[in-house]
Amino acid sequence: MPRIVDHEERRAEVAAAVWRIVSRDGLEAATVRRVAAETGMSTSVVSHYFAGKDDLLRLAFRIVVDRGRDRAIADSAGGGRTRALLVTALPVDTERRAEARVWFAFLGLAVSRPDLARDQRRAYTAWRRAVAAALRAEGLPEGRDAQTEAAGLIALVDGLTVQATFAPDRMTAARQLALLDERLAELGVG
Amino acid sequence: MPRIVDHEERRAEVAAAVWRIVSRDGLEAATVRRVAAETGMSTSVVSHYFAGKDDLLRLAFRIVVDRGRDRAIADSAGGGRTRALLVTALPVDTERRAEARVWFAFLGLAVSRPDLARDQRRAYTAWRRAVAAALRAEGLPEGRDAQTEAAGLIALVDGLTVQATFAPDRMTAARQLALLDERLAELGVG
């Protein structure tokens, strides 16, 4: 009986290897050859899962989005879902700083690539809706629109990420959280 | 008498050509060859001012920073300097959307290039100091730190830029300005 290859499992294995390389050695280090070495697969098998640099970046972006979402779900188990959905994207530790670098590299490419821009838009729409739903559940002040405030909160988180990535000594984890919490307090949530 | 070449003037001419190409046809279109055609200079002369793609991106980033600063100075002539320093970076029209695309492309490269990251940091430090000085001049509520609030406002502007770049139909100019003005009003300035 021929061995049946579980493509989903292999894809996950490739994705995990991509992530290990990216978080350890940076995005530049994640090549088909390195992923092959890391997984023990041949380069031709790895190439089946991503064809080149762009595919890899897309995969890495996907991983970042999934990790963020999983973390938010886990962290909001005890309440404070709005805050959890936002904090998850802040680069407050080494792992999340690696995620932020992937996110920037992806955005930089996506500005001239409509297909990647679509991925970006989809991820943001899902994020905004989740934050808006959480805001509604936690109760917004009269006259505030949940979708608009969600967009504003996500904007703040993204901008803090820019500063934390390029000036981590100045935009420390404590400062990121203080600025986010100040804003959440003004909206009466968090 | 040999003709003296005014390098500063030529550099400005090259920079202006780079910007015309970038804003018209996108960053990808700005090559040494295209800049040569646009300026009427030879490719070897143009190469004297930037050696390749990275230099060009650096030059384009510099132009974006300068344009933003000049606009802020002009717009704040009638008061409201804090707001002018922030609004200048929002992609509220076609020109500024082109600037935002350059900014993203630059950030995407800078995450793995310490020399470019330094340029980014320098530009942000100058921006934060200018906003903080404007906040102090306009008067912040008791207990608020101008540098921290300036960092928070710049973060909001950067994040709005992300959304306006990838979903301009949703994050319209009006919405960008409304979210910024809401925040400025909370700080009692603008």
Dump pLDDT digits (tens) for B19-59: 888 777 777 788 889 999 999 999 999 888 877 777 888 88
Cβ atoms of A87 and A177 closer than 8 Å: yes
pLDDT at B157 over 90: yes
The beta-carbon neighbor of A167 closest among B111, B124, B170 is: B124
Cβ atoms of A180 and A156 closer than 8 Å: yes
**What pLDDT is recorded for position A127?**
95
Closest CA to B104 of B154, B50, B163: B163
Interface of A with B (CB under 8 A): 26-28, 101, 104-112, 117, 120-121, 124-125, 148, 151-152, 154-160, 162-163, 165-167, 170-171, 175, 178-179, 182-183, 186
DSSP one-letter code for B111: T
Q: How many CB atoms lie within 10 A of CB B133?
A: 16
Q: Do A152 and B183 count as a contact with CB atoms less than 8 A apart?
A: yes
What does the alpha-carbon distance between residue B127 and residue B117 come to, in Å, rounded to a whole number? 15
Q: Do A151 and B105 count as a contact with CB atoms less than 8 A apart?
A: no
Cβ atoms of A85 and A134 closer than 8 Å: yes
pLDDT at B190 over 70: no
All residue ranges of chain A with pLDDT < 50 are none
Q: Do A124 and B179 count as a contact with CB atoms less than 8 A apart?
A: no
Q: How many CB atoms lie within 10 A of CB B16?
A: 13
Domains of chain A: 1-51 (1.10.10.60), 62-186 (1.10.357.10)
A86: which 2 tokens? 């936002």
Q: Do A179 and B151 count as a contact with CB atoms less than 8 A apart?
A: yes
Global confidence as pTM:
0.88
| Digit-coded pLDDT (tens) for B70-123 | 999 888 877 789 999 999 999 999 889 989 988 888 888 888 888 889 999 999
Q: Do A160 and B155 count as a contact with CB atoms less than 8 A apart?
A: yes
| Digit-coded pLDDT (tens) for B161-172 | 999 999 999 999
Angle, nearest 10°, between helix axes A32-39 and A7-25? 110
Query: Which residues of B fall within a CB distance of 8 Å from A125?
Result: 167
Residue of B nearest to A97 (CA): B111
**What pLDDT is recorded for position B159?**
97
